[in-house]
Amino acid sequence: MKDYLQTQIRHVLDDLGDVPDDFAVSLEAPAREEHGDLATNTALRLGSILEDNPRSIAETVAEKLRDRVDPRRVKSVEVAGPGFINFRFAQDYLFEGLADLLAEGDDFGHTDVGSGQQALVEYVSANPTGPLNVGHGRNAVLGDTIANLLEWTGYDVTREYYFNDAGRQMRVLAQSVRARYEALVSEDVTTKALTLDDDTTVEVPDSFPEDGYLGEYIIDIAEQVYEEHGASLLTTESLAPFQEAAEEAIFAEIEATLQRLNIEMDGYANEQALHDEGTVQEVIDGLTEAGLTYEDEGALWLKTTTFGKEKDTVLVKQSGEPTYRTPDIAYHKTKFERGFDLMIDVFGADHHAAYPDVLNAIDVLGYDKEKVEVVLYQFVTLVRGEEPVKMSTRRANYVTLDNLIDEVGEDVTRFFFLMRSPDTHLNFDLELAQEESEKNPVFYLQYAHARICSVIDKAEEVGFSYDEDANLSLLTHEDEIALIKELLRFPRALQNAADARAPHFVPNYLRDVATAFSQFYDNCQIIGEDEDLATARMHLALAAKTVLKNGLTVLGISAPRNM
């Protein structure tokens, strides 16, 4: 309906003249139901442009709209207040929309806005140095749900995981595994004490790097290396076998964790390939040719002050090793070369200072940086009640995502990561997550779906069938109409969430659906009612079930039949 009314309003504005072609017509649901189903402030915004009283403009626009709109779709066009124009939907429009919903079923909510466009969503992108933690979990679920939303709105989506497998981090990982391996093989290994951030100490082999990885998963990997190679690697100088073993083991664990959350990547990209294929050097050469690099104290610098930053940024260290920004620029170069129309990066808030350098460098290299969008998310604090929680783990010295899933389950984990806007800090309340009541928002939605399934099953037991044609025009009770209106908002709700890269819009919308169904079910009897009316109400219940199921599917969450 929004699209239809925007088109009609635009035609009227064109007839008025003096309205700029780029004037955007906005429509929103009024805060109060008595003000209609949709409202526009177009006349208020045109007051200064047309140099006329907004109320007068609204009266003129409304009068012309009454002659244009289809009365089977729009019941009334009303002017209110200083110049708002309010619209009320016709019941025929609602009944036709409900019939379309029932006919589309599992496809209801899909739109073709992004049809013909290729989108790449990069998310997770955790380096293979240890198990995924809770912060990685929010990244993973946000990215995956954004990808789902883009697919539901017509895009051809590729999900990609990029990781740094070159440079210092991976070298330290390999050194950590090697030190643990040497301790397994040699009988005379001496140890040293490392002091941790919390002032506790831990005994490690003398060859263990000062900033090495201390999780017991490192010992597990070392044991695997020993089982495969015995003592044959004790004299090798190469770190390659230890790094390869660590990457393989850690990635296997990462992929298993993601699968638990119903996340499957379409592809992987890695830093080493960017070096091997010469893409990193191409980036350095291109930025140098553009006059944006210089050498100082043995390092190569990028003139980020050109883009408004207070300081320039190192591209290549004195050691000759690129900083992480350099391969990131190269990676984005490959995204453009693969022809994507839209590229979305999901990053933690700690990337806020770095990603503009990457986008500005891409722009200098001749690519349209406007095709790249960055979704920054704030970090997660686990709480029980109001107290922060530290969860111990055998696998690492931090909270792993698997720990969290073990405690609250896959569906709850995904849902809680999606409840808040990405740009707000998330307190993940473990007590609430485990509660089986309406206070738990995911339980509330899943229970609503299961409740509808139960209603449908009971109705079918007494002879109701969806094979019968339903007279939907019998659904005139105010709670029936309210539920129909809520259900028909679903495609627009998904489109808004996709456009804003805001998955949290969907849980909020689904809660409104569940609440509207509960109100309908409490006040509109089905079994024992007149057969025609009962059949119509059964179809309305099925429509509510469909929307809840489709919405939960977008969120990557199950829609149980029983609870």
How many angstroms from the chain centroid is the CA of residue 335? 20
Residue 115 scores a pLDDT above 60: yes
Half-sphere exposure of 418 (CA within 13 A, CB side): 35
How many angstroms from the chain centroid is the CA of residue 58? 39
Q: What is the pLDDT of residues 10-23, one digit of tens each?
A: 998 888 888 888 88
299 within 8 A of 316, measured Cβ to Cβ: yes
Q: Worst-scoring range by mean pLDDT, 306-310, 368-372, 507-511?
A: 306-310
* Top-confidence residue, 144 or 393: 144
Q: What is the structure's pLDDT at 395?
A: 47
Residue 95 scores a pLDDT above 60: yes
Residue 467 scores a pLDDT above 80: no
406 within 8 A of 433, measured Cβ to Cβ: no
Q: Which neighbouring-strand residues pair with 192?
A: 204
Q: What is the structure's pLDDT at 397?
A: 60
Residues near 20 by beta carbon (within 8 Å), at least 6 away in sequence: 49
The conformation of residue 133, written as its DSSP 8-state character, comes to B
* Top-confidence residue, 251 or 2: 251
Across 395-422, average pLDDT: 89
Tokens of 295: 């050498």
Half-sphere exposure of 513 (CA within 13 A, CB side): 31
Q: What is the structure's pLDDT at 164?
A: 86
Q: What is the pLDDT of residues 277-306, one digit of tens each?
A: 999 999 999 999 999 999 999 999 999 999
Instruction: List, in order of start, the domains of the chain with CATH numbers.
Output: 2-89 (3.30.1360.70), 106-111+438-554 (1.10.730.10), 168-260 (no CATH)
3-state helix/strand/coil string of 324-391: CHHHHHHHHHHHHHCCCCEEEEEEEHHHCCCHHHHHHHHHHCCCCHHHEEEEEECCEEEEECCEECCC
Q: What is the structure's pLDDT at 302?
A: 95
Residue 535 scores a pLDDT above 60: yes
Q: What is the structure's pLDDT at 391?
A: 58
DSSP-derived 3-state class of residue 536: helix
